[in-house]
């Protein structure tokens, strides 16, 4: 693919979803879309690729009197994955320690 000319770009957008009416108030979900895209042009053709991440940011509560309240939303996925990684590291460390102790006793 030496004849490819990649064009790259970053995506960082804040998007508001469709409003949801509950009683006289309206709730509007807000998310952040981030990522990268790649455009390839060559003699053989064109291609596009990329990666997107969508994270919820907040919910905007719009009241009948025109006032707004912003309610922050936390996505627990990143926290959960880091905790799983930490627990896996501890388990691996304990297993390695047990293996080394077992080998030292045999020697």
The closest alpha carbon to 52, from 65, 70, 38, belongs to 38
Domain boundaries, the chain: 1-74, 76-107
pLDDT score of 3 = 47
Give pLDDT tens digits along the chain (107 positions): 444 545 888 999 999 999 999 999 999 999 999 999 888 888 888 888 899 999 899 999 999 998 999 999 887 887 899 999 999 999 999 999 999 999 999 87
Please name the helix (run of DSSP H) or strand (run of DSSP E) that holds residue 100, with its range, or none. Answer: helix 77-106
pLDDT of residue 6: 59
User: Token match 């807000």: residue?
Assistant: 30
Q: What is the pLDDT of residues 62-78, one digit of tens each?
A: 999 989 999 998 878 87
- Tell me, what DSSP letter sits at residue 17? -
Taking the model in full, what pTM does it have? 0.59
What is residue 48's predicted lDDT score, i.e. its pLDDT? 86
């Amino acid at each position: 693919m030496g004849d490819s000319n990649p064009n790259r770009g970053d995506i960082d957008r804040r998007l508001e979803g469709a409003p949801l009416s509950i009683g006289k108030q309206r709730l509007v979900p807000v998310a952040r879309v981030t990522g990268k895209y790649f455009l390839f042009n060559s003699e053989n053709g064109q291609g596009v690729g990329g990666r997107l991440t969508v994270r919820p940011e907040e919910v905007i509560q719009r009241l009948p009197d025109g006032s707004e309240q912003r309610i922050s939303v936390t996505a627990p996925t990143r926290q959960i994955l880091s905790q799983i990684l930490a627990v896996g590291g501890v388990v691996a460390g304990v297993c390695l320690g047990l293996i080394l102790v077992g080998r030292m006793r045999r020697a």
